[in-house]
């Protein structure tokens, strides 16, 4: 891809973008939120026609590709936000639009299944072909997307932040699959914010900043600090400063012997108890699907509690409606920004004010205060570095990481007694991770009680004061963060006990 320019209203998303891909390589594409990574690759996949530049695939030159041309050229893409049809089965999703037919025109499901099984076997892409997509895990849905691309003949596979939604275990499984794919000559474009993954998995890496090509380097000739500097344009402090931790106060949230129905058998909560105090961050670690999501939803009033008590600031809140729970002093960064975090039909400003508009200074009685909303939005946009920095911009067009920042900003700014932070830095670039983590520590130091749920053990270890480990719907360990390490947590997370 040479000298690519792609404009959207009010923004030049790609401005002289350059990218080349060799057969059999994993090529990482990195850059800050909004740098133009997704746009660049959507151009290669034929979803956008660039204003300028050209795309050369195996010697054939194009000004723009259509999706059909891209597929015919062997280009496949797995998007940042999955695009499967939830009501169809895995097999139906894979063959959708490319169904083998019997003479007479009916879909030949036996033939389809045989073809799909070859990819399952050749690349170790284990999936349950006859399950509906709404009944499978995120990791499995991603494998379905990969098989779908391969089924359509992909030789070039673009993965847009594939590990953002995966547990570390699922991610290593994905890496094995990618190795098998490249060993057979296929090429992989790998968009990620996790520099450790870039170093571990890729051959080369391209860095974009503000739509421009910054550098393409061999991974063997670079380092994490150098990549971070290339992305952000300054040195990035990759740790968190936790000094100044004040004293831990009263119990803000107590969960007593709580039983909650689960999405799966393993994720039913079976007698969960813990206390969360003001001025502390309690990290909740665990392999995804062991009840963490159910626990957060039960506290937030989004899932029924069958037995047990949840108290917030002394008031019982189990089985109350979400708004009542919020009124009692809860803020919630949900794990899925699109499903529960944002109203994508509204602007950045409207989303930021989603709770705050109900009270001063944004409103007085039933009336909104002129100008206050704009000032409020500008302040949060600046603190959390939301781009574009225009309050009236639509959230529907935000890059993934910037959408996440809107949700985090709104919830942290609530200054609630209790903050449930589920995957707060999912999809966010290194500079903004630094920012969000600092704001969480600040909230804690102000006296907030924070329950941090993260699939990222490094995040749990660097932010938490205490760590609880969930396994099969129960808390199997509760330890001081001081002295905890990835190994001991890993052991607890897989059902083992500490020696
Ligand atoms: N469909 C669209 N309409 C308008 N603007 C868009 C559209 N898609 C992207 N943009 C804008 O283009 C810029 C680049 O966005 P893009 O999604 O490519 O970023 P990204 O590098 O993938 O970021 P992230 O890491 O957050 O996913 C951003 O400013 C974004 O707001
Ligand atoms: Mg993106």
CB of 426 shorter than 6 A to ligand 1? no
CB of 8 shorter than 6 A to ligand 1? yes
Q: Whose CA is nearest to atom 2 of ligand 1?
A: 397
Q: Which of 4, 16, 34, 42 to mutate to test the pocket of ligand 1 (most atoms within 8 A of CB)?
A: 34
pLDDT at 238: 66
Tell me how far CA of residue 201 lies from CA of 154, 175, 191, 218, in angstroms.
20, 7, 12, 12
Q: Whose CA is nearest to atom 29 of ligand 1?
A: 34
Q: Whose CA is nearest to atom 17 of ligand 1?
A: 399
pLDDT at 231: 93
CB of 33 shorter than 6 A to ligand 1? yes
All structural domains of the chain, each given as residue ranges with its CATH number in brackets, are 2-232 (3.40.50.300), 251-493 (3.40.50.300)
| Closest approach atom of ligand 1 to CA 211 | 14
pLDDT at 241: 65
CB of 37 shorter than 6 A to ligand 1? yes
| Closest approach atom of ligand 1 to CA 398 | 31
DSSP code string of 227-268: HHHHHHSS----S---TT-----SEEEEEEEEEE--SSGGG-
Backbone φ, ψ for residue 31 (5° rounding): 155, 165
pLDDT at 437: 94
Question: Contact 225/48 with Cβ under 8 angstroms?
Answer: no
How many residues does the structure list for the chain?
499
Question: Contact 10/186 with Cβ under 8 angstroms?
Answer: no
d(CA 493, CA 292): 12
d(CA 272, CA 260): 9
d(CA 105, CA 89): 21
pLDDT tens digit at each of 499 positions of the chain: 999 999 999 899 999 999 999 999 999 999 999 999 999 999 999 999 999 999 999 999 999 999 999 999 999 999 877 789 989 999 999 999 999 999 988 999 999 999 999 988 888 888 999 999 988 877 888 899 999 999 999 999 999 999 887 777 788 889 999 999 999 999 999 999 999 999 999 999 999 999 999 999 999 999 999 999 999 888 876 666 665 566 789 999 999 999 999 887 888 999 999 999 999 999 999 887 899 999 999 999 999 999 999 999 889 999 999 999 999 999 999 988 877 889 999 999 999 999 898 888 999 988 888 899 999 999 999 999 999 999 999 999 999 999 999 999 999 999 999 999 999 999 899 888 989 999 999 999 999 999 999 988 889 999 999 999 999 999 999 999 988 888 888 888 888 776 6
CB of 237 shorter than 6 A to ligand 1? no
pLDDT at 122: 86
pLDDT at 461: 93
CB of 402 shorter than 6 A to ligand 1? yes
Helix (H) or strand (E) holding 477: strand 474-480
| Closest approach atom of ligand 1 to CA 6 | 12
| Closest approach atom of ligand 1 to CA 37 | 21
Tell me how far CA of residue 210 lies from CA of 118, 230, 388, 427, in angstroms.
41, 12, 11, 17
Task: Residue 372: count other Cβ atoms within 10 Å of its Cβ.
Answer: 17
Longest dimension (CA), the chain: 75
Which numbered ligand comes closest to the C-alpha of 160?
2
Tell me how far CA of residue 391 lies from CA of 143, 351, 379, 420, in angstroms.
37, 10, 10, 25
d(CA 448, CA 163): 30
Rounded distance from Cα 441 to ligand 1 centre (Å): 29
Question: Contact 424/452 with Cβ under 8 angstroms?
Answer: yes
Neighbours of ion ligand 2 (CB under 5 A): 38, 399-400
Return the DSSP state at 340: I
First-to-last alpha carbon distance for the chain, in angstroms, is 55
**CB-side neighbour CA atoms (13 Å) of 13:** 21
């Amino acid at each position: 891809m040479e000298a690519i320019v792609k404009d959207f209203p009010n923004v030049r998303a790609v401005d002289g973008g350059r990218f080349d891909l060799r057969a059999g390589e994993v090529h990482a594409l990195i850059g800050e939120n909004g740098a133009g990574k997704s746009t660049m690759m959507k151009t290669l996949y034929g979803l956008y026609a660039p204003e300028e530049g050209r795309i050369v695939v195996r010697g054939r030159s194009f000004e723009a590709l259509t999706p059909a041309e891209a597929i015919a050229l062997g280009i496949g893409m797995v998007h940042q936000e999955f695009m499967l049809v939830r009501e169809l089965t895995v097999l139906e999703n894979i063959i959708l639009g490319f169904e083998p037919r019997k003479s007479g025109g009916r879909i030949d499901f036996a033939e389809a299944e045989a073809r799909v099984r070859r990819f399952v076997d050749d690349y170790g892409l284990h999936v349950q072909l006859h399950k509906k997509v709404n009944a499978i895990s995120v990791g499995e849905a991603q494998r379905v997307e990969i098989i779908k691309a391969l089924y359509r003949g992909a030789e070039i596979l673009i993965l847009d932040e594939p590990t953002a939604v995966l547990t570390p275990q699922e991610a290593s499984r994905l890496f094995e699959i990618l190795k098998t794919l490249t060993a057979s000559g296929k090429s992989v474009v790998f968009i990620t914010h996790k520099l450790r993954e870039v170093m571990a998995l890729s051959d080369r890496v391209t860095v974009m900043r503000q739509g421009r090509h910054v550098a393409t380097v061999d991974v063997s000739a670079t380092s994490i600090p150098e990549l971070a500097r290339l992305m952000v344009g300054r040195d990035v402090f990759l740790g968190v400063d936790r000094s100044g931790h004040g004293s831990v106060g009263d119990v803000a949230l107590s969960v007593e012997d709580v039983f909650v129905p689960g999405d799966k058998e393993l994720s039913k909560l079976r007698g969960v108890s813990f206390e969360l105090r003001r001025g502390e961050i309690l990290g909740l670690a665990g392999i995804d699907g062991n009840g963490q999501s159910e626990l957060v939803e039960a506290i937030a009033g989004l899932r029924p509690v069958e037995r047990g008590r949840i108290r917030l600031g002394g008031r019982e809140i189990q089985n109350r409606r979400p708004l009542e729970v919020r009124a009692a002093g809860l803020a919630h960064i949900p794990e899925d920004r699109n499903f529960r975090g944002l109203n994508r039909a509204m602007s950045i400003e409207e989303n930021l004010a989603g709770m705050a508009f109900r009270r001063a200074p944004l409103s007085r009685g039933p009336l909104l205060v002129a100008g206050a909303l704009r000032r409020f939005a500008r302040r949060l946009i600046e603190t959390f570095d939301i781009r574009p920095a225009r309050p009236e911009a639509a959230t529907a067009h935000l890059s993934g990481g910037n959408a996440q920042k809107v949700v985090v900003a709104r919830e942290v700014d609530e200054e609630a007694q209790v903050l449930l932070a589920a995957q707060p830095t999912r999809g966010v670039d290194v500079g903004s991770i630094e920012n969000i983590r600092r704001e969480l520590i600040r909230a804690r130091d102000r006296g907030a009680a924070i329950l941090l749920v993260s699939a990222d053990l490094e995040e749990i270890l660097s932010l938490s004061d205490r760590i609880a480990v969930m396994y099969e719907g129960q808390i199997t360990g509760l330890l001081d963060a001081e002295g905890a390490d990835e190994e001991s947590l890993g052991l607890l997370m897989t059902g083992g006990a500490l020696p």
